[in-house]
Structure 1
Amino acid sequence: MSHIFFRSLSLPLLLLAAAAFAQTPIDETRPLDARGRIDIGNVKGRIEVRAWDRDEVKISGTLGEGVEKLVIEGNRQHLVVEVRYPKGGWGNRDKSGPTEMLLNVPRRADLKIESVSANVHVTGVASSVLSINAVSGDVMVAAAPAKASIDAVSGDLALTLNSGDVDVQSVSGDMVLRGRLNGDIDAETVSGNIEIDVVGERIRELKANTVSGDVNVRTALAPKGEIKLESVSGDLLLRLPKDVSAQARGESFSGDLKATGVTVEKRQGPGSSFSTRYGDGSGDIGLQAFSGSAEIRLE
């Protein structure tokens, strides 16, 4: 009887122990200089970074089942936080559970984040450099780094940035970029769509390229600024204020071309083009599409 009783108790206790192991809590704090650097790595789950006004990093969350440990290395100038998986290749990683990490970091600390399928969410930082590399996880950022470099393969990008230098690359994910952007923007994707909305600033240089996705840009242009939009089969739309000053031209092999105040010239054979001047023509604008449409719209 007693053996049966203890056996009946053992199963719930084992289940509770397994659940506790699967949800190993994270609660760590490390010093980091206000302008130090922190590298963060996680394969699956979530990486959330929030800025605060303390010279330290607080790490909280839960480690996934099957994760070997959370590695924290470095010093006050450079800290590394990485989820470590058992040795044995990607098979062991696939069997492990997701790790959820929340990091509070100094507002001006530089950030480098690497993720495979973990979603990345960054808010409030004003780093000199913000670097994010993700494979299949989505990336959301609301921050003011001086320079932002964000690469993704299949995840979507939702970026609100107040930055002077932005480089965004994606393969099949859609990207939305908006904010006070007054320097250089370079956006590129293969099959994803690109949407760029510059708020309250005049861009100095903007380049957006896609193969089969659409590009939709709304911005003002700084004096002697440059905008280049290119697509193979996607559509291009550039919306500018009526006081824009630039030489503008567009070209398409088989798509439709439109531009405010412009008569599009049809070539002998396939293709069409236009060339015009807005204002005193100090800037330079070029749109090039192969089979997609391209339009410049003054609003």
Structure 2
Amino acid sequence: MKTARILPLLLCLSIGQALADTPINLSHDATPNVHVSISNVKGAVTITAWDRNQVEVGGRLGDGAKPLAIEGSASDMSIKVQPQGKSGWFSWNSDTSMSGTMLEVRVPKGASLDVDVVSAPLSIDGIDGGKIKVNTVSGKARVNARAPQVNVDSVSGTIELAGSAGKVALQTVSGDILAPNVGDEAELQTVSGRVRVNGGPWRKFNLSTVSGDVQLAGGLAKDGTFAVDSMSGDVQVTVPSGLSAILHASTFSGDLRSDFGTVQKAEHGPGSELRVTVGGGNGEMNIETFSGDLRIRKQD
């Protein structure tokens, strides 16, 4: 009798496990510069570029998700993980009944990507020529690509940009921004994460941060603009010895040191300021901190 009761239970468990571990095996012919939209709520997303004019999707589909399909045409397609049905009033929390999906996607090297993830780490490797746009909530976003434009918007995950990008817009609330090779335009924002960025020569560079430390290294293009605004983090800026710019730097309650010009202390109260023309003064640099130390260095 006990065996008769246990066997149905084991069978149910086996079926549940199988449903939670459904393999994905999809493919679709694609143009070399196809635009691919990818959406996943839970799990992970790994995107790798290859030499084939084809989009291929592997991985595992989470229990509670609708059957996955590649929708669209050879030049514009989408891959979206969605829950099977509605749960709760007015579909609130419809993803709670869906377990994590692991997406492993291969795309042509010249593809452009538009990726939305919620609670899923994201990795992109090998894109060469296509634009990349990412929105993520609580997962790390790692992008290793050669792209004319990269936009990443994150809430609580670190943004790591390897490879090279001509124009970037990176924004995070509580994660770090790490980008060793940023091209001629950069728009960076963070609240409580550290920033480590190299690149240039920058035609336009803007950085705003509240409580994270900042390390920047790079030069200005001719007539380029460079602006940094920091509230409570330390800032270090390293520029080439051949810099040509009008440089203005100030701090309210932090220490200001510079390899260019002479720092002036405020006559009354705290604060320091620096105004100097470096080289031919062909660009403009404005660096301001409130309560963090500021260091402007000349590259050796």
TM-score (norm 1): 0.93
Match of 1:202 in 2: 201
- Deviation per CA, 1:226-258, whole angstroms, max 9, x where unpaired? 211111112211011222222211011222111
- Deviation per CA, 1:4-38, whole angstroms, max 9, x where unpaired? 55544433333222211110111100111111211
TM-fit CA distance, 1:221: 2.3
2:21 maps to a residue whose letter is Q
- Name structure 1 gaps, 5 residues minimum: none
- Deviation per CA, 1:110-139, whole angstroms, max 9, x where unpaired? 100001111110000124311000011110
2:158 maps to a residue whose letter is D
Match of 2:116 in 1: 114
TM-fit CA distance, 1:92: 3.6
- Name structure 2 gaps, 5 residues minimum: none
In the aligned structure 1, how far is the partner of 2:92 from the partner of 2:101?
16
Match of 1:43 in 2: 41
Contact 1:111 1:127 in 2 (8 A): no
1:228 equivalent to 2:227? Answer yes
In the aligned structure 2, how far is the partner of 1:117 from the partner of 1:4?
42
Alignment of 1:248-267 (within 5 A): 248-267=247-266
* 1:25 pairs with one of 8, 23, 26: 23
TM-fit CA distance, 1:279: 2.0
TM-score (norm 2): 0.93
SS at match of 2:292: coil
What value does the CA root-mean-square deviation take over the aligned residues?
Answer: 1.6
Match of 1:189 in 2: 190
SS at match of 2:93: helix
1:294 maps to a residue whose letter is L
Match of 2:236 in 1: 237
CA distance change for structure 1 residues 59 and 33 in 2, over 3 Å: closer, same or farther? same
Segment of structure 1 superposing worse, 275-284 or 57-66: 275-284
Match of 1:274 in 2: 274
Give identity over the alignment, percent. 33
SS at match of 1:95: coil
Contact 1:57 1:106 in 2 (8 A): yes
TM-fit CA distance, 1:274: 0.6
Match of 2:125 in 1: 123
CA distance change for structure 1 residues 90 and 195 in 2, over 3 Å: closer, same or farther? farther
Match of 2:56 in 1: 58
- Deviation per CA, 1:42-61, whole angstroms, max 9, x where unpaired? 00110110001111100000
